[in-house]
Amino acid sequence: MASASVASGSIFRRPTAETGFASWLTTVDHKKIGIMYGVTSFIFFIIGGLEAMLVRLQLAQAEGTVLSAEAYNQMFTMHGITMVFLVVMPVAAAFFNYLIPLQIGARDVAFPRLNAFSYWVYLFGGLFLYSSFFFGAAPNGSWVGYAPLSVAAPGNNMAFYAIGLQILGLGSLAASVNFITTILNMRAPGLTFMRMPMFIWMALVVNFLLLFAMPVIAVALFQLTFDNVFATNFFNAAAGADPLLWQHLFWIFGHPEVYILILPAMGIVSEVLPVFSRKPLFGYAAVAFAGAAIGFIGWGVWAHHMFTSGLGPVATSAFGLSTMFIAVPTGIKIFNWVFTMWGGKLRLTTPMLFSIGFVAMFTIGGLSGVTHAIVPSDAQQHDTYYVVAHFHYVLFGGALFGIMSGIYFWWPKVTGKLIDETWGKLHFWTWLIGFNLTFGPMHFSGLLGQPRRTYVLPDELGPTVEFWNLLSTIGVFIIAISTVIFFIAMLKTRNGEDAPPDPWDARTIEWLTTSPPKPHNFDKIPVITARDEFWHRKYAEDDAGHAVPVPAGGQVDAPPEAGTEVDEDIHMPSPSYWPLVMTLGLPVVGYGVIFKSLTVALVGGLVLLFGMYAWQLEPLAEDDHH
């Protein structure tokens, strides 16, 4: 915290609002920021889903006329950008924000104002991308932005893509530094690495991946911006450049990005399955190190996206082998999840159903992914709907099923309310049916020759392919109905049943504190003596090895639970205007670059600098004394 002494009437004074809309604009509380991430990503999910519905309506029958070629290119491009960068990544950040301090026994993240800055960068980066529609220049070169198509096209469409992703990447990079520092330095006493909840392990791996992956795509996007706005020749083949350079740079980022998207869901499932199996996670160490191995090996498989680009037999063989090899730690995780359930006392609650759905759907996506490691097979499947089916089974069937499991599991912690199980299970089954009806048929239409990224379904592919596409379109509308059911289930909790303090008989220490948690999380920082600390405070083993409840106050070898004592000196970070103000300059600079207006760019730069310096000059609040 800055410690400048500034008069109380100064422009740099701290905000004082503790409730209402203004308090959310200035908050640095990790829990409120996590909620804002979650709500914003849900809104973008609705928008991205509407874009997907338009795409599917266009392809529901051969030679469709719902969308023009240009509108179709914009819809499927923005759908991909939205789901990857504005939904799955930030909803993972929502979980990181809310849960990391609670699960490691901390009161907040290491850098609270940087945390707020990361959220505002995400929000304004998303708004900047969607403002492109008002300028008639929405990105239209697919979410992967392949050169030379992303350079040669007229207009500012891909300039919005390049600068918008640069802004979003800045927020992700700042958040990664924050979360890594928090996990490494702010764990409760006794919380060693091999006692950490598995979600914290996966969060640590993900944020290291972000830390090293974001600079790579930043370089590529910087070059793409200059090619689009200032007519440079980084990717212009006509001027002697190599358009494959973009693919290499993008996929060196893009394949770790796949694991950035899926590992948070793996962490969630690794927390949910043991609770509803009433067993510890099978092979804890193997699951933890498999996650780390996935993150490490993920840097060596990027060119399996480029097997048809003429890399040569040596390179394609090497990347084919590395792609097969990364299936090993992934398979370890799947077997450990299955063995966690094996022999357990399963409770098929809504979070458990979504976790089981994750394991099943992700396994299907993983198996179809291994077929892409076989180079001749990939050459046939490349740029067909078989690939679309594969990555949706991984990112929808995997990431979004895991995320839904986490939402249902931790909803009582966030709100103090339980989501009605009837509505939750209705949501699960309609979600599962709609998902498989949408993306299952794409395996068949792809193998029958349907190409990706074409705005009409060619009539010559025949009635069979048209039938599979019709099923996929019906499936999208079932997913839409399922999402409405989820929304209703959430709204009903406002007047629903209050959740007990430990509604699931959980295992980790975020359930030690109240629901919702107090602003300072814990009255007294817990001391950790075991893996699954909360479970061991509630249960001991009898002579037969069965868990038996510990009588209240009967566990003499563990510290008291949070709430029985209160630390004398609890200091929480003060709210701040300046993360928001500083972020306002970023999209303005972006508009100045795109429209080549030095005045606009300078205005944005001045706002950015003013917010930055005000951040440093911000005084301590009156009650801050260290």
Report the candidate in 318, 165, 377, 141 with the shortest Cα–Cα distance to residue 253.
165
Report CA 418 to chain centroid distance, whole Å. Answer: 24
Residue 144: CB atoms within 10 A of its CB come to 17
- pLDDT, tens digit (0-9, with 9 covering 90-100), for 123-146: 999 999 999 999 999 999 999 999
pLDDT, mean of residues 320-324 = 92
pLDDT of residue 236: 85
pLDDT above 70 as % of the chain = 93
Q: Which long-range contacts does 561-567 make (Cβ < 8 Å, 24+ apart)?
A: 561/512, 561/526, 561/537, 562/512, 562/513, 562/522, 562/523, 562/524, 562/526, 563/512, 563/513, 563/514, 563/523, 563/524, 564/523, 564/524, 565/523, 565/524, 566/523, 566/524, 567/523, 567/524, 567/525
Q: How far apart are CA 478 and CA 430, in angstroms?
A: 7
pLDDT of residue 14: 75
pLDDT of residue 626: 38
pLDDT, mean of residues 577-584 = 94
pLDDT of residue 237: 82
pLDDT of residue 11: 66
The answer to whether the CB of 2 falls within 8 A of the CB of 625 is no
Asked whether residue 381 carries a pLDDT value surpassing 50, the answer given is yes
Number of residues that this document lists for the chain:
626
**pLDDT grade, residue 497 (50/70/90)?**
confident
* Backbone region of residue 532 per phi and psi (left: phi > 0; alpha: psi in -120 to 50; beta: other values): left
Across 15-24, 140-149, 486-495, 508-517, least confident range = 15-24
Across 10-14, 84-88, 384-388, least confident range = 10-14
How deeply is 177 buried, as exposed, middle or buried, from its count of CB atoms within 10 A (0-12, 13-18, 19+)? middle
pLDDT of residue 486: 97
**pLDDT grade, residue 148 (50/70/90)?**
confident
Tokens of 494: 């406002």
The answer to whether the CB of 475 falls within 8 A of the CB of 439 is yes
pLDDT of residue 548: 79
Q: How far apart are CA 416 and CA 413, in angstroms?
A: 6
Q: How far apart are CA 118 and CA 443, in angstroms?
A: 38
Higher pLDDT, 3 or 198: 198
Q: Return the H-helix or E-strand segment holding 541.
A: strand 539-541
pLDDT of residue 621: 54
pTM of the model: 0.93
Angle in degrees, CA 327, 332, 334, rounded to 5: 90
Q: Positive or negative, the Cα torsion across 300, 306, 309, 312? A: positive
Residue 511: CB atoms within 10 A of its CB come to 24
pLDDT of residue 563: 43
In three-state secondary structure terms, 107 is coil
Asked whether residue 564 carries a pLDDT value surpassing 70, the answer given is no
